[in-house]
C-alpha cells in the first residue's frame, strides 16, 4: 500500500511538471532543512538558529511508523538544502523516492552514523522472537545523539561557511547540554547493581539500554505494529514486576498505555511516561520542548519512581 501511494504521488508530481502546474510552496528564508523525525528537527534548529528554516515531515502527534509522503513533501525534499532522515524499515519510502530527479543537495542518514543494534540486542525478554531488523531509534543514546549533532553542524557549515561562527557557537552549547545529560543518566544508573525497567508498551530504547547497562522487559519490540500482547506476555510481565518489586511500569509517548495500566493494576505499581523523542505532542511542540528537555524529564521521572 505504501509503495502504491508513493507511485501515485510521483505520477502526480511528474504530471504537474509536464503541464506546467505548481503545487503551493512557502517562500522561506535561510537554509532549508527537512527532517523525518523530531530529533533531527531539534538538532537542526539548535545548531542553525535563525539562519535555518527547519520543517518536520512527520505531523506533530502522529505515529511515525505509518507516515507516507505527500506530493508536496516530495517536491520540498527535492528542493531542500539538507534532508535528515532516520533510515530503516519504517522509512523504506525514502530509498524508493530518492533518485537523480528527486534528491536534496545534502543528506544525513542517522543510521549510517552509529554502530547499529538489532531489535533483540540486550533485551531478549521482549517476548517477540525472530525479529532481526536493526533498531532505528539510534538517538535514544545521548552518545549517539552527539554523533548526529556533529553531522548536522558539519553539514550546515558546508552549506553556508559564512555562518560557521554562529553554527559553531550553537553547536558547542547544545553539545555541552547533551554531555551533561549523559553524565546524569550514567551517575543515576551507577547507583544500581543491575537496573531493570519494565515497559508495558513497545521498547524503542535498545541504544539507551545498551549505553547504561539496563536489563529490560517489554510487551513489544521497538517497531512492532502489534497493539495487544498475548495473555502469556502480560502474565510474564506481571510476574516480573511482583517478584522483583519493581515500582513502576513505563509507557512511551503517544501511547494509549492500556497494557501498562493493566500490569500496574495487577501489581500495585505505578505507571510513568518515558519520552523516546521520535515525535512529540502538539502541546510539547508549541511549548518548545527539545531532545535535551524531554530526556531531562525522563531522568527526573526515573529518579522519582526508582530512586
For residue 167, what are the CA distances in angstroms to 37, 41, 136, 158, 174? 21, 15, 27, 11, 11
Q: Same structural domain for residues 157 and 227?
A: no
The reported pLDDT for the residue numbered 53 is 97
Q: Is 45 exposed, middle or buried (0-12, 13-18, 19+ CB in 10 A)?
A: buried
How many C-alpha atoms does 58 have within 13 Å on its Cβ side?
Answer: 27
Q: How many domains does one find in the chain?
A: 2
| pLDDT for res 49 | 97
| Structural domain range at position 11 | 2-116+143-165
Residue 134 lies in a domain: no
Q: Which of 124, 148, 119, 110 is nearest to 216 (CA)?
A: 124
Lowest mean pLDDT among 118-132, 146-160, 275-289: 118-132
CB atoms within 10 A of CB 3: 11
CA-CA distance, 45 to 167, in Å (whole number)? Answer: 10
CATH code, domain carrying 80: 3.40.50.1980
Is residue 192 in some structural domain?
yes
pLDDT tens, residue by residue, 14-61: 444 433 443 344 556 799 999 999 999 999 999 999 999 999 999 999
Q: Is residue 172 part of a domain?
A: no
In a domain, 89, yes or no: yes
38 and 77, same structural domain? yes
Kindly list the distances between the CA atom of residue 28 and the CA atoms of 69, 94, 106, 215, in Å, as whole numbers in the listed order. 20, 23, 18, 46
Q: Distance between CA atoms of 136 and 139, rounded to whole angstroms?
A: 9
Q: Among 99, 132, 165, which residue terminates a domain?
A: 165
Per-residue model confidence as pLDDT tens digits over 75-128: 999 999 999 999 988 898 998 888 877 889 999 999 999 999 987 543 444 444
Say whether both 157 and 201 belong to one domain.
Answer: no
> How much is the mean pLDDT over the chain?
87
Regarding whether 198 and 298 lie in a shared domain, the answer is yes
> Looking at the structure, do residues 12 and 161 belong to the same domain, yes or no?
yes
Spatial distance between the Cα atoms of 304 and 307, rounded to a whole number of angstroms: 6
pTM of the model: 0.88
Q: Is residue 33 part of a domain?
A: yes
What cell does 225 get? 505494529
Calpha distance 159→196 (Å, rounded): 44
SS3 221: strand
Amino acid at each position: 500500500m505504501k509503495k502504491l501511494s508513493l507511485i501515485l504521488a510521483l505520477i502526480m508530481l511528474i504530471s504537474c511538471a509536464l503541464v506546467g502546474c505548481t503545487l503551493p510552496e512557502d517562500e522561506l528564508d535561510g537554509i532549508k532543512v527537512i527532517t523525518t523525525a523530531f530529533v533531527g528537527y531539534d538538532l537542526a534548529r539548535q545548531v542553525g538558529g535563525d539562519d535555518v528554516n527547519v520543517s518536520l515531515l512527520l505531523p506533530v502527534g502522529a505515529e511515525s511508523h505509518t507516515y507516507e509522503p505527500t506530493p508536496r513533501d516530495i517536491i520540498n525534499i527535492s528542493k531542500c538544502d539538507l534532508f535528515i532522515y532516520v533510515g530503516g524499515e519504517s522509512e523504506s519510502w525514502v530509498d524508493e523516492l530518492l533518485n537523480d530527479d528527486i534528491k536534496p543537495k545534502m543528506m544525513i542518514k542517522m543510521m549510517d552514523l552509529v554502530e547499529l543494534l538489532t531489535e533483540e540486542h540486550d533485551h531478549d525478554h521482549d517476548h517477540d522472537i525472530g525479529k532481526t531488523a536493526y533498531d532505528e531509534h539510534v538517538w535514544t543514546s545521548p552518545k549517539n545523539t552527539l554523533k548526529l549533532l556533529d553531522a548536522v553542524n558539519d553539514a550546515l557549515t558546508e552549506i553556508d561557511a559564512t555562518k560557521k561562527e554562529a553554527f559553531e557557537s550553537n553547536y558547542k552549547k547544545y553539545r555541552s547540554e547533551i554531555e551533561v545529560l549523559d553524565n546524569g543518566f550514567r551517575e543515576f544508573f551507577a547507583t544500581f547493581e543491575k537496573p531493570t525497567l519494565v515497559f508495558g508498551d513497545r521498547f524503542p530504547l535498545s541504544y539507551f539500554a545498551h549505553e547504561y547497562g539496563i536489563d529490560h522487559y517489554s510487551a513489544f519490540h521497538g517497531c512492532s505494529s502489534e497493539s495487544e500482547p498475548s495473555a502469556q506476555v502480560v502474565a510474564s510481565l506481571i510476574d516480573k514486576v511482583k517478584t522483583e518489586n519493581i515500582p513502576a511500569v513505563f509507557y512511551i509517548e503517544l501511547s494509549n498505555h492500556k497494557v501498562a495500566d493493566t500490569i500496574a493494576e495487577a501489581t500495585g505499581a505505578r505507571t510513568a511516561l518515558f519520552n523516546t523523542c521520535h515525535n512529540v505532542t502538539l502541546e510539547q511542540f508549541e511549548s518548545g520542548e527539545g531532545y535535551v528537555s524531554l530526556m531531562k524529564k525522563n531522568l527526573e521521572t526515573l529518579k522519582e519512581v526508582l530512586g
